[in-house]
Chains A and B, each alone.
Chain A
Amino acid sequence: MSVLTSTPDPRSRTSALLGRLFDFWPLVTFGALVVITLLLLLPVYNIIGLSFSGKEAGNSVFQNYVMFFSEPYYYRSLINSFIVSISATILALLVGIPAAYFVSRYNIWARSLIKTIVVLTFVSPPFIGSYSWVILLGRSGVLTRFFADFGISLPSIYGAPGIIFVFTLQYFPFVFLLVSSGLKSIDQSVEDAARNLGSGEFATFVKVIAPLLLPSITTAALLVFVAAFTDLGTPLILGEKFRVLPLLIYGEFVNDFGGEPVLASTLSVLLLAVTTGALLLQRWLSARFSYATSAIRPLTIQEPPPAKRIAAAAYVYLLMAIAILPLINIVISSFLKSKGPVLTAEFSLENYRRISGTIAGPLWNTILFTSTATLACAVVGTLVAYIIVRRPGRIGAFLDTVVMFSYAVPGIVLGVGLVVTYHHPPFALTGTAMILIMAYFIRRLPFSVRSSVSSLQQLSRDTEEASVNLGAGPAATFAKVTVPLLSMAILSGVLLTWSNTIRELSATLILQSGSTATVSIEIFNEVVNGNFGVASALGSVLILLTFLPLILLFTFMGKNEEALV
């Protein structure tokens, strides 16, 4: 063909390949693998290893599991966990699906207020809800005493029913938000067709709408289940003699600390097995039921007959009133004078005066840990997302899988894993700020990755290629083109991460030491000590810190409540 003056020199080729190893993206990929291995895979590997280790020689590697399944004290907790989680899931679906349908379809009044309440309920720290219910319905609770005066005795908030009740209220927003957004993706013509063919409204919902909502419903159900199954704060406050698995882990861990937390690891592995199973089930179900519909003209708001409209509104308002009650209660009781666990009806700023002296440390810790972890999430999450989307291959697929898996690792399990991994010198990190930041970071990383992945997929590759073509290397292109184009997505991810991390309790309970206590821990300690007034004041501060970023997110960044799930 033409005059080829040069042929490829094998040596220059090798050096080019070697040089490419130290290019930006291979380095970043390597770094991401190291970080994920050290913070996630190694801790999980260690607790699995510990769970199969025996203290005495000659015993089966399964001895810890054999013990678990032969001692009622232990295996009852697993059964209990399933009972409360499955009950809460079913109830949350029963409560949440009609609420979402009514709010999305009927012109009931104050729909945006309802959505606000759902968001408030959803992002408020679960353990705050629990102890607020204790203030209301505990043995000397406000409502308990009020109704006792009329000779009515309310059911106890303690034990399984109380936990199920609180979980249902805490987690039905998953159902509400996912079903609402599912309804938005159904085209009006689908419903019209069903009605035209002779189905009534209820039959249309059951036969046509609900099947199309199945992906949303299954996802919501699994999210509720996992959240309920792994929650530590609520059973800690309400459980009393009713023990669930996370409670046992926490108990064993606190006892075992100093020795080898073998049993805590065994329990953690069981917890992890359940959540991983739930995640896999959810992925299988949503793949199976996804119809990939997209609405050209989404379902419209109907105008039902007045009676129907009022009945639907009454149902939704009642649910919202109950859901928001604990939050209102916290804010009000923070301004009341308290005598130990008993709050008086007297207005006072005493609680805030009392916390003003002690809150500085925990507040600083909370903000420092949360901000550092959030920042790390934003940086690493964007980089990992880039590798997954733009550099597909075996490593990208591996990272994708690991990130998906880390969704399934509950906070408490991560806490145990980090402690057993970083307890001994030279990496003795337990009790340091570092280990808490690591936990927060790895816990929220999958969410950051997921949100960056979806924005990157919408971003045309050409823009980045244009930059490379114009001579900017991979790192420069990422910094000058990709990041600016993703900036809004990254920023909203930051706000969400911040809001979610600041209320973390499970892992913090395991990983904190006195000097690294956060606001959540302080609240928890005050609750345990019966100082409900102080706890409420701290709780109000925490709620404020949780909501601030969301207010920014909704008002300035044009996001809606569906960004939360």
Chain B
Amino acid sequence: MTTSVTIDSVTKRFGDSTAVDNVSFDIAQGEFFTLLGSSGCGKTTLLRMVAGFLRQTSGHICFGGKIIDDVPPHQRNTGMVFQNYAIFPHLTVFDNIAYGLRARRRSKAEIDREVKHMLELVQLGHLAHRRPRELSGGQQQRVVLARAMVIKPDVLLMDEPLSNLDTEMRIHLRSEIRSLQRQVGITTIYVTHDQEEALLMSDRIAVMSRGRVEQLDVPHKIYAEPQTLFVARFIGENNLLSGTVIGREADGSSVIELPGGHRIRGAGGFDEAGSPCQISIRPQDIDLAHSGDAPQNTIGGTVTDIQFLGGTVKLLVEIGAEQPLQVSLQGRRGMEMPTPGSRLKLDIPLKAVRTFKAEASA
């Protein structure tokens, strides 16, 4: 029976270095939960602790509210999918998938039925008696997925399962995995460094950096409302500008002065007057200012570069700050195309401006 997972103040140290630093969160039953971060952020370490291959230095891991710290990995009933497939090269596709059921000493008839059902689900019925080396990477990964799911694990664990595949197969498989997971309703922890994958597949995402969870939220909030500078920098494209908080408006927004003298109003966390801050603005949130609007933030600048990419037009606009502002416009029929050197006014919605405390070292 699939279950909820609780990570309670889990820390893992290897000698002097801390791989996972006091991490806590709950994963609901049936949830597709993603640990997102670059290599070395602790996401795989955390996953391996859930699988039981590593023992946390402190803290507890619970399945369905029960502490499982002392349960050895082969009794945890998790199904793991590995980055490099970890397919059993000496067994056929059928025997690979049947492996976990045989370890659980299920009857032959049941094994036969379950494996066949799973083979249908991953569309590999015709390859049941092939050896892994005759299979493509994508097929191997489907075998491994079937092998992990057929045991009806409490939790499905996936460690960068798509990163060894080519782009086309990756795009195809990620929707397949997602729909399979929904069909079976299995609690899933998915580890990836690929933000697109994470945003597309997950119910919730925990963005990790240096062993800590930077932000835990649903994908669109992670994207639209980064809570930390790291998340703003890590997810999607962002203009990151340093400035100084100079005050607060009545509506709760803060006013930030940029190095070029521009003042901009922004939403979000940090508003300590007089202190240096960082702001992030997504290029596609910026629009050309049209007369007649009631602009919230208007900044004038000079276009220095234009990249026409068909659907979008990317501009670099010099506004006198540390670096030019990247602007991404929808390419519309009959739009007025700016030229390099031309001056224009940009409109930046208040909500698109996120403010963060400036990094000490930056």
Contacts and interface: CB of A to CB of B under 8 A. Distances in A.
B65 interface: yes
Given A4-B6, A471-B75, A466 B65 contact: no
Interface string A1-33: 111111110001100100010010000000000
A467 interface: yes
Contacts of B148: 469-470
Contacts of A6: 65-67
Nearest to A8: B67
Interface in A495-534: none
A16 B72 CA distance: 10
Contact of A12 (B70, B90, B151): B70
B243 interface: no
Contacts of A41: none
A462 B86 contact: yes
Contact of A469 (B26, B65, B66, B74): B74
A470 B65 contact: no
A485 B99 contact: no
Interface stretch (B76-84, B247-255, B349-357): B76-84
Contact of A470 (B53, B62, B66, B151): B151
Given A4-B65, A484-B90, A470 B84 contact: no
A201 interface: no
A396 interface: no
B147 interface: yes
A23 to B, nearest CB: 8
Contacts of A467: 88, 99, 103
Interface stretch (A329-337, A472-480, A538-546): A472-480
A477 B86 CA distance: 13
Interface in B85-105: 85-90, 99-100, 103-104
A456 B53 CA distance: 18
Contacts of B84: 460, 462
A460 B60 CA distance: 28
Nearest to B25: A1
Interface in B106-163: 144, 147-148, 151, 157
Contacts of B72: 20, 23, 473
Nearest to A5: B65
B103 A471 contact: yes
Nearest to B73: A468
A471 B100 contact: yes
B65 A465 contact: no
A4 B8 contact: yes
B285 interface: no
Of the listed residues A1, A16, A463, A469, the one surrounded by the most CB atoms of chain B closer than 10 A to its CB is A469
A466 B79 CA distance: 8
Q: How large is the interface on B (under 10, 10 to 19, 20 to 34, 35 or more residues)?
A: 35 or more
Given A6-B67, A465-B53, A481 B88 contact: yes
B24 interface: yes
A470 B99 contact: yes
Contacts of A23: 72
B98 to A, nearest CB: 10
Given A470-B151, A485-B89, A8 B69 contact: yes
Given A13-B70, A481-B88, A485-B90, A4 B62 contact: yes
A477 B88 CA distance: 11
B297 interface: no
Nearest to B66: A6
Nearest to B71: A16
A471 B151 contact: yes
A3 B24 CA distance: 12
A471 B67 contact: no
A22 to B, nearest CB: 13
B29 interface: no
A471 B80 contact: no
A468 B65 contact: no
Nearest to A481: B88
B151 A2 contact: no
Nearest to A476: B103
Nearest to B75: A471
Contact of B6 (A1, A16, A477): A1
A470 B67 contact: no
Contacts of B89: 463, 485
Nearest to B80: A469
Contacts of B147: 466, 470
B86 A463 contact: yes
A1 B88 contact: no
Contacts of A7: 67
Interface string B51-71: 101000000101001110110
B77 A471 contact: yes
B45 interface: no
Interface string A551-563: 0000000000000
Contacts of A16: 70
Contacts of A1: 6, 8-9, 24-26
A8 B55 CA distance: 15
Interface string A271-308: 00000000000000000000000000000000000000
Nearest to B26: A2
Given A471-B77, A485-B89, A2 B8 contact: yes
A98 B144 CA distance: 52
A20 B71 CA distance: 11
A473 B100 CA distance: 11
A474 B90 contact: no
Contact of B88 (A8, A13, A466, A473): A466
A274 to B, nearest CB: 39
A470 B82 contact: no
A477 B90 CA distance: 13
B114 to A, nearest CB: 13
Max count, chain A CB within 10 A of own CB: residue among B25, B60, B73, B79: B73
Contacts of B60: 4, 8
A23 B75 CA distance: 13
B80 A466 contact: yes
B327 to A, nearest CB: 42
A2 B62 CA distance: 10
A468 B6 contact: no
A431 B90 CA distance: 44
Given A2-B26, A12-B70, A465 B151 contact: no
B187 to A, nearest CB: 15
A472 B79 contact: no
Which of B9, B24, B67, B74 gathers the greatest number of chain A CB atoms within 10 Å? B74
Contacts of A3: 65
26 contacts: A1-B6, A1-B8, A4-B65, A5-B66, A8-B67, A8-B69, A8-B70, A465-B86, A466-B144, A466-B147, A467-B103, A468-B74, A469-B51, A469-B74, A469-B78, A469-B79, A469-B148, A470-B74, A470-B79, A471-B74, A471-B75, A471-B77, A471-B103, A473-B72, A473-B103, A474-B74
Counting from the closest, the 10 A-B pairs by CB-CB distance are A470-B100, A462-B86, A471-B103, A466-B86, A472-B103, A469-B80, A16-B70, A462-B82, A1-B24, A484-B90
Given A462-B82, A465-B82, A466-B86, 6 more contacts: A1-B6, A8-B67, A13-B70, A463-B88, A480-B99, A485-B89
